[in-house]
Amino acid sequence: MASAKLFYFDGRGRAELIRMVLTACGVKYSETCMSSKEQFLELRPSLLFGQLPLLEIDNVKIVQTNAIVRHLARTHKLDGKDEKEKTLIDQYYEGSRDFLASFMGAGFMVALEKVAEHAKPALLNSDCNFKITYCKVLKENGSSGYLVGSTMTLADLSLLEVVLMAGDYYGEAAFDSYPELKKFKETQSKLNFYNDYFHNIRKPMNSHEYVTKVKEVLSMK
Ligand SMILES: N[C@@H](CCC(=O)N[C@@H](CS)C(=O)NCC(=O)O)C(=O)O
């Protein structure tokens, strides 16, 4: 079984999806979490774009979150069985990444206490386009509970990250009137990887300490 090293911070950010995919692929990994400016500056020359996350796997250093998860998906067959499935997976993956990107830095831009309020219009509205679209896709794919085909793919993991985030902020209310998303979450929660991910791997929601630490390490104002 492959083993890997993940370099990031001790929080979700851009690395949470990588943690989910590593767990779903059954890859054992260790984490190095940046805790000082000096530690980051020492690592920086080995980062292709000077940025984290970095995943070392199979003697290769990979940066760029999307490249990392796509590498894992390709090497562990979470990327679809034919060209049509691969394209659909890419499409749904990009859709949920775009949506998530609008919240990614929220805890760094508005006071942490205001993040849920900030995200509310997009995540809780009864006419949330994102949720409507993914419900439609799940419905059209039949009763499997997955976005593409009848097994888990990278597209599902990417959607799951958004679904879990919405659940963190608003509980079950996040899925009122979206039965397909409710069922999607149930399907995912019955998979073997989920229990391990949810209980042992998933990082907590950002705290003041975490935001302060990241800003300090990256010399952010
Ligand atoms: N497109 C890159 C963006 C990476 C990125 O912006 N990383 C931040 C931390 S979340 C970083 O390392 N910033 C330091 C810098 O840009 O100097 C990815 O998805 O990996």
> Which two structure tokens, joined as six digits, stand for 21?
């995919």
Mutation choice for ligand 1 from 18, 47, 51, 158, CB with most ligand atoms inside 8 A: 51
The CB-side HSE value for 10 (13 A sphere, CA atoms) comes to 11
> Which two structure tokens, joined as six digits, stand for 12?
């979700």
Identify the band that residue 42 occupies on the pLDDT scale cut at 50, 70 and 90.
very high
Q: Tell me the C-alpha distance between 49 and 31, whole Å.
A: 20
Identify the band that residue 160 occupies on the pLDDT scale cut at 50, 70 and 90.
very high
Residues 136-163, mean pLDDT to the nearest whole number = 96
Quick one: pLDDT at residue 103?
Answer: 78
Q: Does residue 49 carry a pLDDT above 60?
A: yes
Query: In this structure, which residue's CA is closest to atom 13 in ligand 1?
Result: 51
Ordered structural domains, the chain, with CATH: 3-76 (3.40.30.10), 83-193 (1.20.1050.10)
Using an 8 Å Cβ cutoff, are 4 and 54 in contact?
no
Residues of the chain with pLDDT > 70: what percent? 99
**Cβ-proximal residues to 128 (8 Å cutoff; 6+ apart), any chain:** 122
Quick one: pLDDT at residue 65?
Answer: 98
Closest residue by Cα to residue 93 from 157, 150, 145, 165: 157
Bin 187: left if φ > 0, else alpha if -120 < ψ < 50, else beta.
alpha
C-alpha 110 – ligand 1 centre gap (Å): 19
Q: What is the mean pLDDT of the chain?
A: 93
Mutation choice for ligand 1 from 9, 41, 44, 52, CB with most ligand atoms inside 8 A: 52
Q: Tell me the C-alpha distance between 73 and 86, whole Å.
A: 11
Index of the ligand 1 atom closest to the CA of residue 14? 10
Index of the ligand 1 atom closest to the CA of residue 218? 14
Closest residue by Cα to residue 61 from 83, 73, 78, 44: 44
- How buried is residue 60: exposed, middle or buried, by Cβ count under 10 Å (0-12/13-18/19+)? exposed
Q: Tell me the C-alpha distance between 84 and 107, whole Å.
A: 37
**Which residue ranges have their beta carbon within 6 Å of ligand 1?**
13-14, 50-53, 64-65, 218
C-alpha 51 – ligand 1 centre gap (Å): 4
Quick one: pLDDT at residue 134?
Answer: 96
Cβ neighbour number for residue 77 with a 10 Å cutoff: 11
Residues 158-179, mean pLDDT to the nearest whole number = 90
Q: Does residue 1 carry a pLDDT above 60?
A: no
Identify the band that residue 133 occupies on the pLDDT scale cut at 50, 70 and 90.
very high
Using an 8 Å Cβ cutoff, are 188 and 123 in contact?
no
Radius of gyration of the CA atoms of the chain, in A: 17
The CB-side HSE value for 32 (13 A sphere, CA atoms) comes to 14
Quick one: pLDDT at residue 7?
Answer: 98
Cα–chain-centroid distance for residue 146? Answer: 17
Phi, psi (5° rounding) for residue 180? -65, -35
